[in-house]
Amino acid sequence: MNDDLLSLTATDSGRDTQPACELSLRRLREALLRLRTRLDEGAARRLDAVGNDDPALGLNPSVRNLAQYLEFRSMDLRPLQRLLSTQGLSSLGRCEGHVRDAVGRVLALVERALGEPSSVSLNDDLTLEQGQTLLARHTLELLGPGSPKRDVRIMVTLPSEAAEDYGLVRSLLAQGMDVARINCAHDGPAQWRAMADNVRRAAAELGRSCRVAADLAGHKVRTGPLAQVEGVLHVQPRRDRYGRVLAPARVHLSPDCPLAREDAHVLGMGVEASLLDRLHEGESVSFVDARGAERRLTIVSRDADGLWANLESSAYIVEGLAWWVARDDGPLEGRFCGIPGQAVDIRLVTGDLLKLTREELPGEAAVLDPRGGVLHPAHIACTCPQVFDALRPGQRVWIDDGKFGAEVLSIDEEGAVLRIGDCRPGGARLLADKGLNFPNMNLDLPALSDKDKADLDYLVGQVDIIGFSFVESGAQMNELLAWLAERQACHMGVIAKIETARAFRNLPGIILAAIGRVPFGLMIARGDLAMEVGPERMAEVQEEMLWLAEAAHLPVVWATQVLETLAKKGVVSRPELTDAAMGERAECVMLNKGPFIEKAVRSLDDILTRMQGHQQKKSSRLRALRWS
């Protein structure tokens, strides 16, 4: 039937430049009638296929519209779109939320132009306004009320400091945060509860609504830990471009356990506090640094925690390095402490080999012979050993959000050997706890990890929304919903985080498993998903997800790397501004944490408020422009 429909529109394509005539309109009417028949029959088949699990599913208007939209998009409608446009009629390119009604209304116009009685009844179809109302209702149920000045919500990932810094949380709400996100891959239950309590306290004080969402960690498929080497503290004064000292390095000396400070280097002296009390302003702490250079720290003042000292020359200080202070009554001696170990430096370039190990061995750099040849390649663990059961030679692997692209060369009982094929010129550092993506590989992991289950037991009653990480099928969604039902928690919202190619392919099934059972929405997790489907295809995939969600009248969270440079570094790039404006297409935009997160929230609030007057989903609103 698809071929018949398209041939009817294509027959007239040679007359596209001619004025509308009765022949063209009759052919268009016939194509639209066939399209409506196809929608009805195809949607019925799709609903029958899922109705055995839940007979009431087909009664849900959003489900019916989704089934019609899936059938609608199974056809290539470009010839029909061209013919509609040449006749001056509305295209069908913005009908996601009301498919059958949109086709029927265009058909009714064609029949009116032909002077024929209408063959369709529009009273039974979901209209544009009704679809928008359903989307707004589902968004409110999941994400809560939005800001009075904009419809799109702002979700903010809370940093660890939010558990103790109430002022930060209150400021985020004041700047425009509508949903606070807790990442269960970090911190712990005590911190999560403190964050949620701070959010609710601030919302009450400000008279605002703010939902609390918690993302499950999921099965962490990440790089393992790195081996530790001796830590080195490089202390250096500020110099001009000729190397002249402009200001000495500031060093804070404490008795034993140094406290982290942002305004200075910190060192423990490894002695009792009473010994430091004997030091006075102007005295020097001498030492020979790790490179054999003689250096002196000059005491300049004292505070409640220790001493302040200046260093006029660069020094490299390691744990246990000896120091002394010459005194008339005998030297005061000790050893520097409090310098943490550092992760080994593993740098990879294109063409290098990397061993991905089953056992959680600390990662180490390649072992080289005296001539620079590789005796043993660098290695690092994979935190999910089940990966190796599915891994095959030739499998692509992406590491650290695409910093490295690799291919599996071989697999043995120890792990897998990868060859780095994609990397920036000059190479890059391999870090611990970074994501590993295996595009199109089915890991066949259970829906919920043991940690997820334990976290869920705690989160019920503490948060409003559960973010379901790495969900890949309707069956996995059913598992989560059953877990919530056992705990009388079906009132909680659920956001399906679409992070893998398999989840994208199974998106209709994931939606049908949850729609109508809990407040429900989708998150386009663009970081991991881009690695799975390929960066080049990501723009297409996120559009398709937006369309499908709108057809089901479900809210979407636009996530990953939104205003990332602004949040982390305090400056913004022009491409990030455009990307943030594109977030107007979704119902919520998520920001990740960073030192400048308050500034990022403020900027995003301004961008979304401005764009609301111009754009709603795919439709331009045509607000009057300033120079009109």
Q: What are the residue ranges of CATH 2.40.33.10 in the chain? A: 231-340, 345-436
Which CATH architecture fits 231-340?
Answer: Beta Barrel (2.40)
Region 237-260: what's the mean pLDDT? Answer: 86
Q: What are phi and psi of 511, to 5 degrees?
A: -65, -50
- Dihedral of alpha carbons 172, 176, 180, 185, sign: negative
Bigger pLDDT: 612 vs 32: 32
Confidence (pLDDT) at 592: 94
Distances (CA, A) of 326 to 259, 286, 331, 368, 392: 26, 8, 5, 45, 66
pLDDT per residue over 379-396, tens digit each? 999 999 999 999 999 999
Tell me which long-range contacts 39-44 makes (C-beta under 8 A, separation of at least 24).
Answer: 39/68, 39/71, 39/72, 39/99, 39/100, 39/103, 40/100, 42/67, 42/68, 42/70, 42/71, 42/74, 43/67, 43/68, 43/70, 43/71
Mean pLDDT of the chain: 90
Average pLDDT over residues 343-361: 95
pLDDT of residue 443: 85
Question: pLDDT tens for residues 422-435?
Answer: 999 999 999 999 99
Distance, in Å, from the CA atom of 133 to the CA atom of 553, rounded to the nearest integer, reads 9
> Which residue shows structure tokens 């663009």?
526
Cα–Cα distances in angstroms (integers) from residue 179 to residues 371, 541, 550, in the given order: 57, 25, 21
Could you report the per-residue pLDDT of 172-221, keeping only the tens digit for each?
999 999 999 999 999 999 999 999 999 999 999 999 999 999 999 998 89
pLDDT bracket for residue 408 (50, 70, 90): very high
Please name the CATH architecture into which domain 345-436 falls: Beta Barrel (2.40)
Residue 616, pLDDT score: 74
Does the structure show a pLDDT above 50 at 20?
A: no
For 300-323, how does the pLDDT look when each residue is reduced to its tens digit (9 = 90+)? 999 888 899 999 999 999 999 999
Tokens of 494: 């659920």
- Main-chain dihedrals φ then ψ at residue 419, nearest 5 degrees: -110, 125
State residue 5's pLDDT score. 60
Low-confidence winner among 42-46, 199-203, 573-577 (lowest mean pLDDT): 573-577
Share above pLDDT 90 across residues of the chain, in percent, rounded to a whole number: 68
pLDDT beyond 50 at 362: yes
Q: Which residue has the higher pLDDT, 486 or 22?
A: 486
Looking at 80-94, 446-460, 534-548, which range is the least confident one? Answer: 80-94
pTM score of the predicted model: 0.83
pLDDT tens, residue by residue, 508-564: 999 999 999 999 999 999 988 998 898 889 999 999 999 999 999 999 999 988 999
Does residue 58 contact residue 38 with C-beta atoms inside 8 Å? no
Residue type, 296: R
Tell me where in the chain the CATH 3.20.20.60 domain(s) lie: 134-181+188-195+452-615
134-181+188-195+452-615 is a CATH 3.30.70.860 domain: no
pLDDT of residue 12: 45
**116-152 pLDDT, tens digit each:** 888 888 778 999 999 999 999 999 999 999 898 899 9
The predicted-structure confidence for 602-627, as pLDDT tens digits, reads as follows 999 999 998 887 777 776 666 677 66
Alpha helices, DSSP H, located in 146-287: 166-175, 189-206, 273-276
Residue 247 has pLDDT above 80, yes or no: yes
Looking at residue 49, what is its pLDDT? 83
Which tokens hold the place of 558? 């636009």
H-only helix segments in 391-491:
450-459, 474-486
Per-residue confidence (pLDDT) for residue 8, from 0 to 100: 47
- Provide the β-strand partners of residue 486: none
**Total residues belonging to the chain:** 628
Query: 497: which 2 tokens?
Result: 């985080």
Three-state SS at 273: helix
